[in-house]
Amino acid sequence: MLSILATWTLAAAFFGAGLYNAIGTAATQSSFARWGFPPWWCRVTGALEIAIAALMAFPGTFPFGLICGALVIAAAAWTVVRNREFSHLPPIGLFVGLLVLAQAIR
């Protein structure tokens, strides 16, 4: 039961983050541009995060989703640390914790 809850929480978190990025508000686009990406890159990131959520929703593709999710979160962490925007680290840490938990209890 805990494994299912952790998996769906992680999938929902990636879906929510993906939806937020895919909507691409002016503030989101501005952040991506400030970090050196084209402003529309937030939509690419959002699409990847939504795809990761879908991969995590199915047992057969969960491991691939977990790997892709870890790569996206590592890239996000690298980006915010490189740009010294440490206020973005707590949500990234939450994703790291969820990734570790979901893998550990599988």
pLDDT of residue 2: 82
pLDDT of residue 79: 97
pLDDT of residue 1: 81
The closest of 48, 20, 45, 36 to 80, measured between CA atoms, is: 36
Give the span between the Cα atoms of 21 and 50, in whole angstroms: 10
User: Mean pLDDT for each consecutive 10-residue tract of the chain (106 residues)?
Assistant: 88 97 96 96 98 95 96 97 96 94 86
pLDDT of residue 4: 86
pTM: 0.93
